[in-house]
Structure 1
Amino acid sequence: MFEWLRVFWQGRIFFLARGDQLPRFLNQALKDGVVLYHTQKSERGMRAQIKLADFRCLRRAARQTHTRVHIVAKYGWPFVAARWWRRKGLLTGFVIIAMALTVLSQLVLSISVSGNRNVISSDVLERAEKLGLKTWAYSKNLDLNQIAKALQEQLPDAAWIGIERNGTDIKIKISEKIRPSIPKEAGNLVASHAGLIKEIMVIQGNPQVHEGETVRAGQVLITQALNPSLPSKTTAPNSAVNNAVARGFVRGRVWYSAEKQILLVEDKVEESGRVATGWGIKFGSRVIMVTTQNSPFEQTNKEVTSPFLQPWRNWSFPVEVIRVNYKELHNVHLERSVVEARQLAEQAARTEVQSKITPMVQIVEENVKVLPSNSGAERVRVEVETYEDLAVYANP
C-alpha cells in the first residue's frame, strides 16, 4: 500500500527505446544513475519504466547511442496535478461548490412539524424561532434538547416534544396529551388521567383543586377566567367568547399497570424465516404470476406488494407489477421453565405499560408482582408510577 502511494507520488514514465545499440544505451543509463523498472525486450525495441525525475538523465545516453526514446504513457500525481492546473476554471468551480456545500451543510434549511393534531404547526414554528431554531441558523450552536424542553413548557397540549436533526433538515416531533371529550368544559383545563396532585401553577384562570388531592380523569382542574375587556351583558355569563381560556400546569403522580400470562407448555404457529418470492402482473382484478405461481411451503403467509408502479394523484396505472412473498409457517412446541415464563410475562407486561405512558415522562417507581395462577402458567403484573403534567384542554 505504501509502495503504491510512493510510486504514485513520484510519478512514472513508460517509454519505448528503439535503436541498434540498446545494450550500450542501457549501460550508459545505469552509469548516469538512472534506475529502470520492469525492463522488457520486444520486437520493436525495449520497454521500461522510469521515475519522472530521472527522465532528463536519459538524454545523454540516447544521444551517445543514437537511440530513439518514445513515451508510451505517464502515470502519477505530477501528471494529474499538471492536467488539473491547466483547467484552473473548472478546479476553482469545484472548490467553490465544495465550500458552499460545506457551509450549507452546517445550516438549518428546512423545519417540519409532525405528530400534531390540536397543536398548530405555525404556532410551534413561531415559538421555535423565538428560541433560536429557524432557517439559515447555524445548527452547531443550537441546543436542541433545551429548545424541545422549552417548547414543551410553552405548549400545554404537548405531552412530549422531540427535535431530530437529519443533515440540514430539522424535524419537530410532537406527542399530544390525551384530551377527554367533555363538551361543557371547553376552555377549561381538565385531568387527562387519574392521579395525585403534587404541584399547581396557574397562569390564567381559577384553580378548582389543591395539592395533595386525588383527581379522576376528566375532572376540572383550572376554569377559565372572566375576560374584563369584554362587556358581560353582550353574551351569556358562561359563554366561552366572554371568558379567557384557562392556562397553567398541574403536575402529579399517575399509576399505570398491566398483567400478562405466559404458558409453560405451548403449541403455536410462527414464521420460520424462509421466504420464497414470486413476480406477477395485475390487470385490474386479474393476476398472472410469471414466476413461483404457488407457494412451495405447506403452510404459508402470503404478502402482496407493488414495489414499482405507484398511483399518482387520482390516476392509477392499468397494469401493475406485483411481488408476492410466501413466508413459511411451521408448528412450534415450546416448553419453558418457570423462570423463563416469568421473564417473558414481565417483558410483555412492561411493553404494554410503556405503550400507555407518554414518552419522556419521568418514572418514579416500578413494581413487579408475581400473581397466583393456574398450574401450567405464570402471571406477572407490572405497576409503574410516573410524575407528569395532568392538565389538558377538554375536547369540545
Structure 2
Amino acid sequence: MLLIKLWNCLRGYVIIKIVGLYTERLINQAAFQGLYLWDVRRIEENALLAKVSVKGFLKLRPLARKTRCRIYILQKKGLYFALNRLKRRKVLLAGVVFFVAAVYLLSSVVWRVEVNVQNEVLKNSVLKDLEQWGLKPGVFKYNLDKKYFLDKILHNYKNVSWAEIEIRGSRVIVELVERDMPPEVEEGTPCHVVADKDGIIYEVLPLRGEALVKPGDTVSKGDVLISGRVSLTGGDGEEKELLVRAKGIVKARVWYRESVEVPLVETVKTYTGRVKRAYKIRWGSKELRFQLGDVKFSSYEEEDLKAMPVLPPALGNVSFTPMLYKEVREESRFLGVEGASLEAERRWGKGLKAS
C-alpha cells in the first residue's frame, strides 16, 4: 500500500471533493472498475474527500455523471504537476537546472586532501608526493584510483605499515599508520645481533663478530646471537677485546599458537525456502521500511538486495533497496569431543586436537 502511494506521489495525484446524494455508489463503481482512491473520508452528509491519481481522475469523471455527483479539484500534488509548473516558468527551470548542474559539478571535485598521521614530517612529505602523483585539490573524485595511490605510498615509504584512502564529500582523507622501525645505528657503531622472536636455531653464518649460538640451540627474544665483542690474541700473547658492528645470518624455526573454540552442542540454522519481500528507502543514516503485512516467521534473517540510487549523488545519498526476510529453522546438534575436534580442524584447515 505504501509503495503504491509513493508511486502516485511521483506520477502526480489530486485531492478531490465529491458532492452528491450517491457518493457511496460512485466509490463502489470506481472500485469495481479498478480505480484506486485512498484517504477517503466523509466531511459532510453528502460530501467526501479523497485522493486519486491523474489517470484515475480522468476515468472517474464519467462515473460521476452517471451517479449524479460533482467532483471538485482542491489540490494538485506530486512530481507531475511540479514539472508542469516549471515548464511554464522557463527561466526558473533553467535556473534550477543550472543550480543542480553546478552543485553536481562542485561536489564532484576534490577540494581538500588530508593526511592523518602523528608524524608531521611524514604528513608533509606524503602530501607533497600525492600532489606530484595527481591527487590534489581540483581533480574529479570519481576518477581517483585509490589502489594506485596506496601502492605508491606503501612502495615509497617503508616506515608506513598501513594506509587507507577515504572520500568524504569533497575531502580525500588519507589514514596512515607508522611502522615501528628499529633504531638506526650509524655505520661503525659497535652492536650485537639479537633474536627478534623465540625459536630453535638451524643455521648460523657470522660475517662479522663472534657467534654465540649453534644449530639446535633454543633462544628467546632478545638473546644475543652474534656478539660484537671479539677477542683477539696479539703476537705477544696478550688477549685483547675488540668492539665491532656484528653482522651475519641466523635462521631459526619459530612457532605460532592459535586456538579455536567449538561447543559440544552446536546450533545449526537452515533455510526453509519461505521468504517475504519488503522495501526500504535510505537517506543518510536514516531509513524507512515498508511491506505488506507483518513478518510471521518465528526466526528469520534479513538480506538486502542491490540498492538503487533515487537521486544523483550531488543531491543527496538517497537509495531504494528491495530486501528479503528469509525464514530459518534452528536445530541443536550434539558434536561430542571427537566431532568438535573434527569441526575445529575443518575451520582452521590444520590438525588442532581437543585437549
**TM-score interval (norm. to shorter):** 0.3 to 0.5
Higher RCO structure (Cα 8 Å, ≥6 apart): 1
TM-score normalised by length of structure 2: 0.39
TM-score normalised by length of structure 1: 0.36
